[in-house]
A = this chain, B = another copy of it.
Amino acid sequence: MQSINPNLQFQRRRTPSVSEYVEGILQGNRVMLSQAITLIESTKVAHQNLAQQIIEQCLPHAGNSVRIGITGTPGVGKSTFIEALGMHITERAHQVAVLAIDPSSQMSRGSILGDKTRMLHLSANEKAFIRPSPAGDSLGGVARKTRESIVLCEAAGFNTIIVETVGVGQSETAVHSMTDFFLLLLLPGAGDELQGIKRGIVEMADLIAVNKADGDREKMAKQAKAFYNNALHLLPMKESRWTPQALTCSALSGLGVSDIWQLINDYQQFTKENQFFYNNRKNQSRYWLTESIESALHDMFYKDPSVSAAFSSIEKAVLEGQISSFRGAEALIQIFRDKKLEH
Quick check: A289 and B56 within 8 Å, CB to CB? no
Alpha-carbon gap, A196 to B308, bound state (A): 43
Bound Cα distance from A324 to B287, whole angstroms: 12
Stretch at the interface among A207-215, A253-261, A315-323: A315-323
A148 contacts B55, C-beta separation under 8 Å: no
Interface of A is mostly: helix
> 21 A-B contacts, Cβ less than 8 Å apart?
A55-B324, A56-B324, A59-B324, A62-B321, A144-B326, A147-B324, A195-B234, A195-B236, A282-B319, A286-B315, A286-B319, A287-B325, A289-B315, A292-B328, A292-B329, A293-B329, A293-B332, A296-B329, A296-B330, A297-B333, A340-B340
| Chain A positions 234 through 249: 1 when the CB is less than 8 Å from some CB of chain B, otherwise 0 | 1010000000000000
Q: How many copies does the complex hold?
A: 2
Interface residues on A, range: 35 or more
Q: A151 — which chain B residues lie within 8 A by C-beta? A: 324
Q: Does any Cβ of B come within 8 Å of A274's Cβ?
A: no
Asked whether A310 is an interface residue with its Cβ less than 8 Å from the other chain, the reply is no
Report if A285-B148 is in contact (Cβ < 8 Å); known contacts: A293-B301, A296-B330, A297-B301: no
Binding site for B on A (CB under 8 A): 52, 55-56, 59-60, 62-63, 144, 147-148, 151, 195, 199, 203, 234, 236, 282, 285-289, 291-294, 296-298, 300-301, 315, 318-319, 321-330, 332-333, 337, 340-341, 343
Q: Is the CB of A333 within 8 A of B285?
A: no
Residues from chain B with a CB closer than 8 A to the CB of A329 are: 288-289, 291-293, 296
Residues of B within 8 A of A323 (CB): 56, 59
Further 4 A-B residue pairs, CB within 8 A, beyond A59-B322, A293-B329: A59-B321, A63-B321, A292-B328, A296-B333
Q: Which residue of B lies closest to A292 (CB)?
A: B329
Across-interface contacts of A285 in B (CB, < 8 A)? 318-319, 321, 325
A201 vs B199: C-alpha distance when bound (angstroms): 13
Cα of A315 to Cα of B293 in the assembled complex, Å:
12
Let me know if B56 and A327 touch, CB within 8 A. yes
Which of B203, B292, B324 interacts with A330 by CB under 8 Å?
A: B292
- The minimal Cβ–Cβ distance linking A153 to chain B, given in whole angstroms, is 14
Measured in the bound complex, the distance between the Cα atoms of B203 and A323 in whole Å is 31
Q: Is the CB of B324 within 8 A of A148?
A: yes
How many angstroms between the C-alpha atoms of A288 and B328 in the bound complex? Answer: 10
